[in-house]
Amino acid sequence: MTKTERNTAGRRYVHFWRIAWAVGSLVLVEIVVCGISALPVVILWSQLVRFPSSNPSVRIVLLSGALVPSYIIFVLILLFISPLAMRLLGWRTPPRAEMRIADLDWPLLDFARYDAANHFVRVLAGTVFRGSPIWTAYLRLAGARLGRRVYVNSLELNDYNLLEFEDDVVIGAGAYLSGHTVEGGIVKTGSVHLGRNTTVGVSAIVDIGVITGANCEIGALSFVPKNTRLDADAIYVGIPVKRIR
């Protein structure tokens, strides 16, 4: 075996164990997070199962009626526990970074675990609470810097710690805002800053490094390319966006 082949084999070995550790640790963390979140529900159901009643129908009605409240309790606790775990572990999207996927460095793996954990919460809790103050509070806990009266009616936000929205920002349904992009096998990250009273229309796409001025409107189905600066008191539409007023 040549020196080059040995080096290649060594890198593959390191990458294999890095991936194994990243996946294993993510699974373990999610098991613990879900276990803590489900604990009050387990206690509730243990009491309902032991509810004294000679009529089986009463117990069936009680258990059936507890299904939806139990799920709500579980996801409410999950919305708090999951971002707290991310903070304690230091998993986040690194700002202003360029990470080669082939290198599988730890910052990339931390980013991947952070994104996966956030997606897990989006699937379980986002469909219930999106567009509500509870969802906004979760985004803050997960690292987003949000002003007052921010309304987010979309589950297509990523890299929360790189998002900064000033007061009265509105994000329409299906709008996609992300702090990362992938170009030529390299993950590039950048913050997104939306000025006061900015509105992002339904299913619009806002790329990394975008900054908007106050009272800016981005039309539905529009695309804002990376590192674009949008003026205040203006309306933008199109792919890519162009100012129309």
Q: Are 113 and 22 in contact (CB under 8 A)?
A: yes
pLDDT grade for 5, boundaries at 50, 70 and 90 = low
Q: Tell me which residue range forms the domain holding 199.
A: 144-245
What are the backbone angles phi and psi of residue 164, rounded to the nearest 5°? -135, 115
196 and 211, same domain (yes or no): yes
Q: In sequence order, what E strands does 15-150 have?
A: 98-100, 145-146
Judge if 152 and 66 occupy the same domain.
Answer: no
Supply the pLDDT for residue 66.
Answer: 81
pTM greater than 0.75 (yes/no): yes
Last residue of a domain, one of 80, 114, 143: 143
Question: What integer is the mean pLDDT of 201-216?
Answer: 96
Tokens of 169: 């920002």
Q: Of 111, 143, 175, which residue is a domain's last?
A: 143
Residue 57 has pLDDT above 80, yes or no: no
Residue 171 has pLDDT above 70, yes or no: yes
- Distance between CA atoms of residues 116 and 213, nearest Å: 31
Query: What is the mean pLDDT of the segment spanning 148-152?
Result: 95
For residue 23, CA distances in Å to 46, 87, 146, 160, 182 come to 32, 18, 30, 21, 21
Q: Are residues 110 and 149 in the same domain?
A: no
Is the domain of 138 the same as that of 153? no
Identify the domain boundary among 90, 125, 143: 143
Same domain, 209 and 89: no
Residues 11 and 127 in one domain: yes
Q: What is the DSSP letter of 173?
A: T
pLDDT of residue 64: 81
Overall average pLDDT of the 184-200 stretch:
96
Quote the tokens at residue 198.
Answer: 């900015």
